[in-house]
Structure 1
Amino acid sequence: MEPPFVLLIIAAFCAIECAHGLECYVCTNQDANLGKCLQTIKTCEPGDDMCLSETSWGSVPYWSQGAEKQYYISKRCANNNTCVRTRNKYMGLCTHIWYEDWKCSDCCRGDRCNYYVFLSGSLAQSSAVVLGLCAASVVAMGQLLWT
């Protein structure tokens, strides 16, 4: 007895999906979530099942009096143990205080899930726009319902 055609298609799809590795955006110490951080994609090694993003805020790598602070963004493939270790390592440093140096990390599961990073200027700006649009939508819907 031959298996139904649908089962063969499902089996083929599963085989392709299993052979396909996780894809993450990768970059190192970029000053914005642009360019390399949004264009460089890596197929992760078999043991890596998460995408890791690290965001830090601080002075330029070399010391200079009155140096301005900026974001540094790094993204890479990782496994769960690396994510937990990195998160625990930076938990005390993840203060988001503008006048102090800080570093935070975040992990996610899924192809290219680390497209966005938290607290980058462009993301924060986009979030404000989205929140504004959502608030305007709620007000508009309220007016429609009560008229």
Structure 2
Amino acid sequence: MDLRETVCLLFITFIFLPIQICKGLECYVCTNQEANTEKCLKTIKTCDQEEDACLSTINWGSPPYWSQGATKQFYVSKSCASKKFCEEFKKKNMPSCTYIWYQDWKCSECCSGDRCNYFVTLGSSSVKSNTLIISLSAITLLCMFYRGL
């Protein structure tokens, strides 16, 4: 291994990786919104270190405030959570979001990756952050350019 390759490896190891590790996960956050719009799509939080997942929840039921004769409707909540909490919370709710008009219900979904909870229940758990892939590609190109390939 020559000096140039060593410099590239040091750059990747000591500069790039700590930045990715220290960077906190970002999730959309909102509470009891009537739809997945406005606040649920515009409010972003950098999660705490122990929070490594984004949690999305849909409630079907009466409004959170009491109102005589109120009709049932959907409420969307999004937050940061640990994967363990997220999976436990998910088990307490319906296994999938199934519309049952005559009873109250709740379903949730967990995902990993920055802002992966943009959509509420459309398979966001399969969406991963592509920052790492793009950065590694850029570093590889930089090393190739530096070596003169």
Matched, 1:34 2:43: no
User: Given the alignment, which residue of 102, 117, 120 partners 1:117?
Assistant: 120
Contact 1:87 1:105 (C-alpha < 8 Å) held by counterparts: yes
Partner of 2:65: 62
User: Within 2, Cα distance between the matches of 1:50 and 1:57?
Assistant: 23
Contact 2:94 2:105 (C-alpha < 8 Å) held by counterparts: no
User: Within 2, Cα distance between the matches of 1:93 and 1:65?
Assistant: 30
Which residue type is aligned with residue 69 of structure 1?
Answer: K
Deviations 1:91-145 (A, max 9, x none): 37954212322110110011110000128xxxxxxxxxxxxxxxxxxxxxxxxxx
Identity over aligned pairs, percent = 58
After superposition, the CA RMSD in angstroms is 2.2
Partner of 1:5: 7
User: Within 2, Cα distance between the matches of 1:36 and 1:76?
Assistant: 12
Structure 2: tracts of 5 or more residues without a match: 123-149
User: Within 1, Cα distance between the matches of 2:95 and 2:7?
Assistant: 55
User: Within 1, Cα distance between the matches of 2:99 and 2:114?
Assistant: 28
Structure 1: tracts of 5 or more residues without a match: 120-147
Contact 1:22 1:44 (C-alpha < 8 Å) held by counterparts: yes
Deviations 1:5-27 (A, max 9, x none): 21132121111101101111111
TM-score (norm 1): 0.71
Partner of 1:17: 20
Which residue type is aligned with residue 105 of structure 2?
Answer: W
Deviations 1:13-52 (A, max 9, x none): 1111011011111111111111111111111111111101
CA 1:65–1:108 in 2, change beyond 3 Å: closer, same or farther? same
TM-score (norm 2): 0.71
User: Within 2, Cα distance between the matches of 1:44 and 1:92?
Assistant: 25
Partner of 1:100: 103
Which residue type is aligned with residue 47 of structure 2?
Answer: C
